[in-house]
Structure 1
Amino acid sequence: MERRGRMSEWLRRRPRSTGERTRSMSRAAAADRDALLLGAAAASFPVAPAAHPSGFSCSCDRIGCPTPGMHPVSFAWQTQATTDTEQITRWLAGQPLANFITATGTNHDVLDVPAAAGAIALRRLEAEGVQTGPVARYGADRMLFFTATRGTPADEDEWWPCELDCHPETQDEHPGLRWHCRGSYVLLPPSRLPDGSVVDWVRPPDLPLPDPLSLLAGLTDACAQVAGEEEAKQEAAGGWLSGGR
């Protein structure tokens, strides 16, 4: 409880920025990065190094990488991901520009929704007294709700893979809610995104993880509301264009 209080207070005091970070990280920025990632590991989120944006491309050697800075460095990221402080400290020292992912489906899952829907759901859930647990923001586009994991059910028929979530290049084809469970991952704060924004915490990682089903209805309702509002705007715009002809 004491550690949880210190982490929450530190995040409240920590200045947030969505601007582009310079390649030459200041000592203070490096300390913030280390504290955030070690704090996530202390909250039992297994982490592994990821690529980072490099100019208009990616630090990986893939020509035309579709998701610069948003994928693990190693194909063995699932076995590489760890909460071991010494290993993470070595990665941080040896890869000062790297982003980091957390592997889902072992210690936690993630419900990933459009940012507008996430903001609506967060307000509603908290107003209803629902414990939302850790929440992160992917720039201006997405919001991540960290939950207890479904893990590996005794009956495998009760488990479904998140294959689409495993391949971020398919995300534009699936703009609604994504459930990151076994075999998937998400970026952790303070990872940098291709547009210069960052991943940051809205609610700290050391909060208790809620049951995903306690959040699911609220998140799906908010996603439906945002999708309906967007559809109505498009229909209104189409009607205006038709009337103008």
Structure 2
Amino acid sequence: MSATFGGRSGRQGKLSQWLRGRRTSPTADTGGREELLLAAAAAGLPLAPAAHPAPGYRCSCDRVGCPTPARHPVSFAWQTQSTTDHAQIERWARHQQQANFITATGMVHDVLDVPLEAGRQALRRLLDSGVEVGPVAESDDGRLLFFTLTRGTPEDEDEWWPCELDCHPETMDEHPGLRWHCRGSYVLVPPARLPGDDDQQVRWVRGLEHALPDPLSLLEALTDACARHAHEETDHAGTGWPLRH
């Protein structure tokens, strides 16, 4: 499945045809939310409904002290619930008009999730070097999300390639630098809203028309940028304020 995902032909060709059809459809969502969600599904990203912001930096789940407000799935069965079925996603989007959506990683795609400034540096370096970069989303909470092909889901667990960068929802705080969302994890898919006084969002900065790359083709640039970012933050933390020249 992952071998054809993001190819210039096949699934990506069908996505382009689908997008052209949606632009002329009289039933297209004028606000763009439903269209973007269906485009994500057409590109193969499995989706499930998520919580949304509530007044006072709260989460719609009403859990006291929710650790990830507006950033988590509504259902505990999100992994089996996640789907690319357009009819189901339309029903969810129309009956849960404030809901964010997550995309489950490790099925057909992974996400390399890095601090915003490090990600921007790496993105410029990759593009300048002619490296194929896939869809990229920017989150106003300070992260840049690089969507890639998945490493796969082998039936034989001995074939699974473990990685110290693997990130799951319950281990997010342990990965302030590079997070690798694969099996058992998820990320918000644009468009999504974040809690806060400002209109904070998750948005595409490179769209789904870009083919998904192999994650290893991005990894060196991302890890280097994260290392430089961490070093700069350490230097700034040790500098007295105000700065003296």
TM-score range, shorter chain: 0.7 to 0.9
* Pairs within 5 Å for 1:151-166: 151-153=152-154, 154=156, 156=158, 158-160=160-162, 164-166=167-169
Q: Which structure carries more helix by proportion?
A: 1
Distance 2:134 2:212 in 1: 5
Could you tell me which amino acid in structure 2 is paired with residue 50 of structure 1?
Answer: A
Name the CA shift for 1:6/1:229 in 2 (closer, same or farther; >3 Å): farther
Pair 1:122 & 2:134 matched: no
* Pairs within 5 Å for 1:50-69: 50-56=50-56, 57-69=58-70
SS in 1 for 2:114: strand
Equivalent pairs counted in the alignment come to 221
1:230 corresponds to which of 222, 230, 233: 233
Between stretches 53-62 and 182-191, larger displacement belongs to: 53-62
SS in 2 for 1:101: strand
Q: TM-score, normalised by structure 1?
A: 0.82
2:220 corresponds to which of 194, 211, 217: 217
Distance 1:7 1:112 in 2: 27
Could you tell me which amino acid in structure 2 is paired with residue 4 of structure 1?
Answer: S
Pair 1:200 & 2:203 matched: yes
- 1:27-71 CA distances to partner (integer Å, 9 max, x unpaired)? 742xx1001100100000000000001112111131121211000
Q: CA deviation at 1:157?
A: 5.4
**Contact 1:4–1:207 (8 Å) recurs in 2:** no
Q: CA deviation at 1:7?
A: 5.1
Pair 1:4 & 2:4 matched: no
RMSD after superposition? 2.5
Name the CA shift for 1:65/1:111 in 2 (closer, same or farther; >3 Å): same
- Where does structure 1 differ by over 3 angstroms across 4 or more consecutive aligned residues? 1-8, 161-164
Unaligned runs of 5+ in 1: 11-26
**Contact 1:111–1:179 (8 Å) recurs in 2:** yes
Between stretches 134-143 and 118-127, larger displacement belongs to: 134-143
Could you tell me which amino acid in structure 2 is paired with residue 55 of structure 1?
Answer: P
* Pairs within 5 Å for 1:1-245: 1=13, 3-4=15-16, 28-29=30-31, 32-56=32-56, 57-153=58-154, 154=156, 156=158, 158-160=160-162, 164-167=167-170, 170-195=171-196, 196-237=199-240
SS in 2 for 1:236: coil
In structure 1, the partner of 2:5 is: none
SS in 1 for 2:71: coil
Distance 1:28 1:192 in 2: 18
Distance 1:45 1:207 in 2: 13
SS in 2 for 1:214: helix
Distance 1:81 1:5 in 2: 24
Distance 2:166 2:215 in 1: 19
Name the CA shift for 1:228/1:6 in 2 (closer, same or farther; >3 Å): farther
Could you tell me which amino acid in structure 2 is paired with residue 234 of structure 1?
Answer: A
- 1:96-145 CA distances to partner (integer Å, 9 max, x unpaired)? 00000000001100000000011000000000000110100111500000
Name the CA shift for 1:3/1:79 in 2 (closer, same or farther; >3 Å): closer
**Contact 2:116–2:142 (8 Å) recurs in 1:** yes
Distance 1:62 1:2 in 2: 41
In structure 2, the partner of 1:13 is: none
Q: CA deviation at 1:159?
A: 3.0
Identity %: 57
Name the CA shift for 1:129/1:6 in 2 (closer, same or farther; >3 Å): farther
